[in-house]
Structure 1
Amino acid sequence: MTLSQHKYCLTRCRFLMSSIFVDPHLQNQNYLEQVIDAMPAGLVMVDAALRACSMNRMMADLLGVPDDLLLEQELALDDLIACPELARHAAEALASGTPQDNVLVTLDGRADGVRYVDFNIRRTRKDGSYMLLLIGQDITFRRKARLRLQESEEFFRLTFSQAAVGIVLLGADGRVLRTNSKMSQILGYTEIELLQRFFQQLTCAEDMAEEQALMTRLKLGQISDYQLEKRLLRRDGARVWVSVNVSSMRDVNGSQRFICVINDIQRQKQAEEALLRMANHDALTGLPNRVLMQDRLGQAIMHAHRAGRQVAVMFIDLDRFKHVNDSLGHDAGDGLIVEIARRLSNSLRESDTVARQGGDEFVVVLPDLAGQEDAARVARKLLDNLFQPTTLCGQEVFPSGSIGIAMYPRDGEDSATLLKCADSAMYGSKGQGGNHYSFYTAEMGAQAVEHLRMEGALQRALQRQEFLLHYQPVVDIGSGVVTGVEALLRWQPQDRAMVSPADFIPLAEETGLIVPIGEWVLLTAMEQQVAWRQSGLPPVRISVNLSARQFLGQDVAQCVAGLLARTGCDPGYLTLEITESVLMENPIAAAETMGRLAAMGVQLAIDDFGTGYSSLASLKRFPIHSLKIDRSFVMDLTQDADDAAIVNAVIALAHSMKLNVIAEGVETGEQLAYLSKQGCDQMQGYHFSRPVEPGRIEAMLRAGRG
């Protein structure tokens, strides 16, 4: 009930009471009671002793007592309404006559729950005594509504301030009108600092246009809300990714406002970027991987097409990387790959791309070139920078690479074709001995096709038993007696002519097939030695070449021991030949392996001596029995003084170290005579015999040819 309603009720009560007091005979008692009972408020009349004299039906309902309760007895106000506060105000009104308004009384214990009654107290006179009129208005609904509103406001306040997301209330102009602590945490500003800023000041310039377009549509009512991911500027200048949901609302004055809910997604974005980087970059080197490289190559081709420029694609393969990996371990190999990646990256322009294709292969994309000479200049720079010493596991290594180059648009107009051509050109560089670059030519395409065909056929050769061994006699120069043979691998495909070792041995090395092939050679040679011995021939020394991959890439000593046990071959008549370059690749590991082999009784020979970088002094650390002078020195020793001097020095120094000397490639009597004069121990070559089948060697041995 409003104050005016209270006043009306009081005035009406006074009028009725004055009518009773002035002329009771002129008023109808029943009529008076009906009027009082019909009042929209509860009424209690209290005498000067603060005893309730009467009350209307509304008050009886509020108090939950019978209507006729006070007709039977008078109750103290405290007994009727147990509220000390109401009693105090009633006493004050009775004593001073001062109206007492808005006295709140809580009525508990009712079946329908707690009720709230607002009392106004007025003093009046009756029969010369003071009386009090207590008019009570049921405000339960209004009070509960107010309490719910207060509770809702408190809940909103706490939710707003304690929310796990940033919440901002913006004015129509973007000014921050209200914000919460989470928003301060996201941006590093205090709440007061945020209230002094416009949201536009907190948004990255790159994201402003999109957001302003959405905000305009929101203002015009074209959309009811929007959501986007954007970057906000922190107080320290850093950028933070957030997800923003914005909705429009009107305040009590009808002014447009915007509620922004901001979720910090910086970690999510960082995780997404990490995943994207993992998908597009090599984990070991951090370089772009094949996927990203092909995307950039495609972009470079489109740009070159529009601008009339050229693009170079370089395929780079490290030389002898497998040997480093096998001899020094995978950690050293990984370290070399990382170092190569760094050198390549530092040698290129920012607009260029260097990617790791996989293993020891890299691809370089050079966009926006004027011509082939630009690519050649970069290739020379890359090779120079690669061929610088680096230390791996205490060993100094000189990396080098073979580079194949394809040019757009000359060699191809799409990524796949250019990469294929660059790969073919790389094999051309490999064929030159490595540490070279080659541009693609049409002939290389045919060679690449043949390379693939040969690789497939080589993989099937072992299964089809297409390999065989020929043996070349090793002859004692002094007596002319055959003292041993060297096992030489031959490949006889089922459907074509015999393939030269020069054509398939490098391919077997490259693909790794040389390891199982080499093991087959060892097994077959040992079995042949046992077969000759069992046929009654005198013991024959068999020499077998070990490839670099065999010697460095597996436990060759364990392999040899197993084959010796399997075949029954006499290790005292088995010689294993190793090139000096393989020994110098990892001298410590080589010495350990050779020591184990020598302990079995196997003899060891250095093949192609003089073609590498070792010296006789450096060979003293190895348990070597023989040196084989490379055929390149024997070929012209009777005409070339330098070759003759080298041969003389090798023989003399080898003998001083108690090593046996074997000359390879002896083709003429003059060469044989010279070697005999210089004291060379043994020889092999066409002058005595070409490599032949096992049966012909057996015939030689039985005939005692020499």
Structure 2
Amino acid sequence: MTEKGNRPTGKHTHVLAQHPARLVQHAFEQSQNGLVITDGDGNILLVNEAFCRIAGVDRAETSGWPIEHFYLSRRTPSHLPVTADTTPSLTHSWQQEVLCRSTEGESLPVLMTVDAMLDEHQQPRHFLHTFVQLFRTNGKMLDDRHWIHIDPITGLPNWLLLRDRLSHALAQAERADTTLALLFIDIDQFKAINDSVGHSEGDRILGELAQRLQHEVRSKDTLARLGSDQFVVLLEKDGTPEAAQLVAERLHEALEPPFASGDRYLLMTASIGIALYPTDAQDVEPLLAAARSAMFIARQKGPGRLAFVDRRLTAQLKEKYRLESLLSEAIHMPSHHLELHYQPELDRSSLRCTGLEAMLRWKRPTHWQHPPGDYLDTIARLGLGVRLNRWMIQTAIADHRRWHDSGTALGKLPVSIQLCESHLAQDTFDHRPLDHFLRHQGADSFEWLTLKVPAQGLGGELDKATHLLKRVERLGIRLTVEGFGSQAVDLAWLSRLPFYKATVDARLLGMHHEGRRLLEASCRMLNALDIEPVLVSIDEGSLAAGLEGISARLVQGDLYSPAMPADALERWLEAHGPGGD
């Protein structure tokens, strides 16, 4: 018991007295109200997590930005009533209602209070902004006021709020040197639908339509209704042409299910125009006008289409997706589109064949601009590399079994197949590792099979790759490194794996002024690790002449023999003879 007037000496009181700064910090961070401290010009210095949640931003996006960028004021102008230069006779506290966007993408009313933080001369040098959300814990608004920035039919932001967000997004994009995209959406023939069902039912359908579109838009992006049957999507932070086209396609798909209206089912489509910042325009109104003009281009093509401002870009993307569709069809039906040819590997001195490499060829090459090997990166990006690899392995097994059963000399040669990185990373569509797949192929032996591991795949998760490759090696399969010297490889790790060969691109000779020294160093390094180098891609006599003296016994390339189908290869082998390995 202490005497009246004396301070308590309890432990907690002592801690608080000793650490007032820590208490203030805890209060700032743990407050459920958004708290922001700015400098005298209104630029943000410090925010808490509650403000980030209320304003729908990350903390890293706030520092140094004017506080006005993170809310929309119902007053005009919306700037602070006090600044660092305000005279002391004016008020140092101010309050108004504003709109902030939550992390879920909604625009919510917030009560903002601004308090000046005075220095020793009673001058405001900093400001404390407090943001209090104007709804109850059950999500219901505290009042039924109509907010002038929200479209009453769809609940989406209207043009006023879109303009504010677009201005903010353009400022951020300019500051960060990034792109953004604006999608202008016009519902095809909606006026006829509205007239047939009545305006009240038309408004209800618009609300359902808006919900479908909103479901396809990320929370950090904005879907707004401009009026009538026109909507706009603002894509921030990922405004590439590919991202914009992907979103547009999702929006089209969202409208595909019929809209029920009484006993009727209505089908709707949309024309979508896409404008890009900074390619097509740099300001709010020109960017919107560009997106609208692109929408008219899309409408001219017919209902349910999209277009970019740049018609060449539209054509390029159309060709890109056409190619991807054709490649997907080819990989899912490989026997209709692809076949395996085999290119010999030769002993450099005797020119006798020491092995074969399986290579992809089109069955109808006139339908394609390039050979299949030129599309491998695209195939990998589409997630189809493993499917293609497995078809190549199964086809090679069938070919080798036929050669072996017929007693041809081809059956005595090793066959190599290049693996894709996804197989090495065990990132397969059916979650079956490579060794599990191989065990179920019905092969009596794999002593004839060599798998070529891409060098770029040897820089990731090495432990996983090591375990997989050792399991594959236990099946009797031999392993080769593909593209040694073109990618960084951990030599200590490489020496622990059962590789017996490595291919080195002979074209390195002309790609670098020290090309010959690099080739020789790569071959000597491999020889020191008991890994035999194979010089590949030797397609011209001049290149072969430049390789004289390089420490490699084995060579491969069109100069010696192109890849051939099995029947032609058998005739070629009779003339050259197998040399064994």
Q: Determine which structure has the larger helix proportion and give its number.
A: 1
Specify the structure having the higher radius of gyration (Cα). 1
